[in-house]
Structure 1
Amino acid sequence: MIAAGKHAAPASTPGDRGSIAWFLVLSVLISGIFWVLMIEAGHPGAGGGHYVVGLMWAPAVAAFFALRLRRGDTRSLGLSSSGGKSMLLAYGLPLFYASVAYGPVWAPGLGFFPDPAAMTRLSARLGWRPLGAAGFVPLYFVPIATTGIIPAIAHALGEEIGWRGFLAPALVGRMGFTAGAIVTGIIWTAWHVPILLFADYHGATPWRFGLPCFAVMAVALSVILTWIRLRSGSVWPCAILHASHNLFIQAFFTPLTGSMGRITPYMIDELGVAVPMAVLVLAVLIWNQQRRVAGPVG
């Protein structure tokens, strides 16, 4: 360790322009490796899942390097505190808004739940004998909601160290809560664009439809995640919320929702209408609550 003498360069704060610039540049450079690999393969799941893990951890690596280069303090990333009761809130929120989003899809017959073909396929993958819906759904939900959350957090933590551990507090400190959270969400959306456009991440909907839906969801979710980051003083609840969102939507609600024709893909998942609208409503409610708080939350 070099002692701080009169000739030592002053340490920067995480919110200074230099730190933010270094973070953004490094995020693009490191992420670019995995964007190229995914685009070349044509699918985000290529490489046995290693490419997507590398991509999700690129923002964390960029944050650590940016702080190192600018003599920042890694304690500012929010890794030293657990977040307390916010962890349970973070786990439950995605389950709540996913239920709110998918219920109106199933009720009028825009999709149906559970899909028998999906249950058969998933049962075979798990080595289970065929079960009816009343048996399969709760038995499938339990491992998804328990052991499934562990690797999901390990993956999501990489993104959250960068986006909510470093970037969101830095931008909120410079721009205020609303602008900081929204700009973080816009940058987060842009980071997904290469795989949305060129690596088949848009799924069953055309990218011209899926990308705007995803952008609304990501910006709204950024407001929620930034709020919980400031409320808890920790990045761990953000990682849990991000993991819970990915897990319940991508591994439970979407695969078990059967199609009722061409309309269903336009309603479900992150690239349909229902989830972004549910997240947006929740984000507006949280933003309104945050706006009424005197001073910073947490």
Structure 2
Amino acid sequence: MTQSNGLRSPATHHRHDARSRAVRELWYFLPATYIGAWLVAAPLWLTGFRRAAPAQHAGPLVAACLFTMMVVPAVVAIVLTRLRHPWRSVPRLLSLGVPDSGSRRRVLVQSLRATATLPAITALGLIAAALLGAYHPAWPQSWWSLLVLPLSAVISLPLYLGEEIGWQGYMMPRLTLRFGPVAGICLGGVLWGLWHLPMTALGGSYPGHPLYLAVPMAVAVAVGTGAVIAVIRIRTHSVWPAVAAHLGLNEFALPLPRLISAADHVPDPLFVGPLGLITWPILMIVAGVALYTISDRKRLRRGGERNP
């Protein structure tokens, strides 16, 4: 509301300044994060690597580039936050703080639920794919492969923390402040999907498929999964459950189709699995419902979002 003399009220002026500052900070964060991703992936491009089939295994260089790329968003977010605030304030400003034991227990329960969210969506997608004849499930050929997944998740936890400190701790609050919750989250999903382009273009998500299919599909899936993760972050007021949701996607949902597939059938991720066309409608329904629950700006503010 503006005052009758045409001047902005102090509250309106503060909101305008906060939104302007959020945009400025995004103009620093996004180019730095994108450039960092391309620089880290450069060795793969220089060596001519390309993943041409789902069964093709990545070598040590691919793993090293991918792991390094995943920590780029956190490095940029921490540096930009530290430029304006003291070190002791950085965890709180990036929504990493858990103040007391009761909060720790609550965040742990929320994180366990978040870990199961995207694997559950994937399981529904696999059932649909099996009914359509696009997927041939079977008992795991090696139970050890399933048992080792939790160990891999624990070891990989810092990598997902590296991404989500940037996306959910730094970028998402600024996007929702400037564009509102729904538009901000959807735009964040597009930006997240495009950030993966250095790897997507090398066949990372959809090996063997042309870019005109792989890139739009990767962005569309990023909007859906990004919405689910962002809503989890908003409703729990913490980055940690968002980290758990991302971990659940990469460490449990992505390997699931291959681990319980028939030996003579390698699932095509373009159609089957958490990134596939068959799962996509289920994902978007869940994402749409999740976005509806936080579409009210007042509810978003009650959820504890802080101005950047």
Alpha carbons 1:111, 1:259 under 8 Å: kept? no
Show the counterpart of 1:27: 33
Q: TM-score by structure 2 length?
A: 0.77
Alpha carbons 2:146, 2:259 under 8 Å: kept? no
CA distance in structure 1 between the partners assigned to 2:263 and 2:211 by the alignment = 19
Structure 1 position 199, deviation (Å): 5.2
CA distance in structure 2 between the partners assigned to 1:199 and 1:95 by the alignment = 22
Alpha carbons 2:125, 2:274 under 8 Å: kept? no
Given the alignment, which residue of 130, 150, 158 partners 1:154?
158
Alpha carbons 1:110, 1:260 under 8 Å: kept? no
Show the counterpart of 1:5: none
Q: Do structure 1's residue 247 and structure 2's residue 251 form an aligned pair?
A: yes
Show the counterpart of 1:111: 135
Given the alignment, which residue of 116, 119, 125 partners 1:95?
119
Which letter maps to 1:63? A
Which letter maps to 1:53? F
Show the counterpart of 2:81: 67
Structure 1 position 184, deviation (Å): 0.8
RMSD: 2.8
1:170–1:274 distance in 2 versus 1, CA, 3 Å = same
Helix, strand or coil: the match of 1:107?
helix
Structure 1 position 84, deviation (Å): 4.5
Helix, strand or coil: the match of 1:112?
coil
CA distance in structure 1 between the partners assigned to 2:157 and 2:214 by the alignment = 25
Q: Please list the CA deviations of residues 199-241 of structure 1 after superposition, one character each: whole Å capped at 9, or x if unmatched.
A: 5542143332232222111011111111111111111111111
CA distance in structure 2 between the partners assigned to 1:89 and 1:246 by the alignment = 15
CA distance in structure 1 between the partners assigned to 2:266 and 2:64 by the alignment = 32
CA distance in structure 2 between the partners assigned to 1:255 and 1:206 by the alignment = 26
Q: Is there any run of 5+ residues in structure 2 with no aligned partner, and where?
A: 1-16, 52-57, 99-103
Alpha carbons 1:112, 1:260 under 8 Å: kept? no
1:88–1:18 distance in 2 versus 1, CA, 3 Å = same
Given the alignment, which residue of 77, 91, 107 partners 2:94?
77
Alpha carbons 1:59, 1:161 under 8 Å: kept? yes
Helix, strand or coil: the match of 1:205?
coil
Q: How does 1:46-65 map to 2 (within 5 A)?
A: 46=59, 47=61, 49-65=63-79
Structure 1 position 33, deviation (Å): 1.6
Q: How many residues align?
A: 267
Structure 1 position 293, deviation (Å): 7.9
1:206–1:277 distance in 2 versus 1, CA, 3 Å = farther
Helix, strand or coil: the match of 1:267?
coil
Show the counterpart of 2:54: none
Structure 1 position 36, deviation (Å): 0.9
Which letter maps to 2:30? L
CA distance in structure 2 between the partners assigned to 1:90 and 1:107 by the alignment = 27
Q: Do structure 1's residue 143 and structure 2's residue 148 form an aligned pair?
A: yes
Which letter maps to 2:220? V
Given the alignment, which residue of 16, 40, 43 partners 2:22?
16
1:249–1:43 distance in 2 versus 1, CA, 3 Å = farther
Alpha carbons 2:273, 2:279 under 8 Å: kept? yes
Q: Is there any run of 5+ residues in structure 1 with no aligned partner, and where?
A: 1-11, 124-135
Q: How does 1:282-297 map to 2 (within 5 A)?
A: 282-291=286-295, 294-296=298-300, 297=303
CA distance in structure 1 between the partners assigned to 2:269 and 2:165 by the alignment = 32
CA distance in structure 1 between the partners assigned to 2:224 and 2:163 by the alignment = 16
Q: Which moved more, 1:159-168 or 1:15-24?
A: 15-24
Structure 1 position 264, deviation (Å): 4.9
Show the counterpart of 2:217: 213
Q: How does 1:31-42 map to 2 (within 5 A)?
A: 31-41=37-47, 42=49
Structure 1 position 27, deviation (Å): 0.8
1:275–1:87 distance in 2 versus 1, CA, 3 Å = same
1:216–1:18 distance in 2 versus 1, CA, 3 Å = same
Alpha carbons 1:27, 1:59 under 8 Å: kept? yes
Q: TM-score by structure 1 length?
A: 0.79
1:88–1:147 distance in 2 versus 1, CA, 3 Å = same
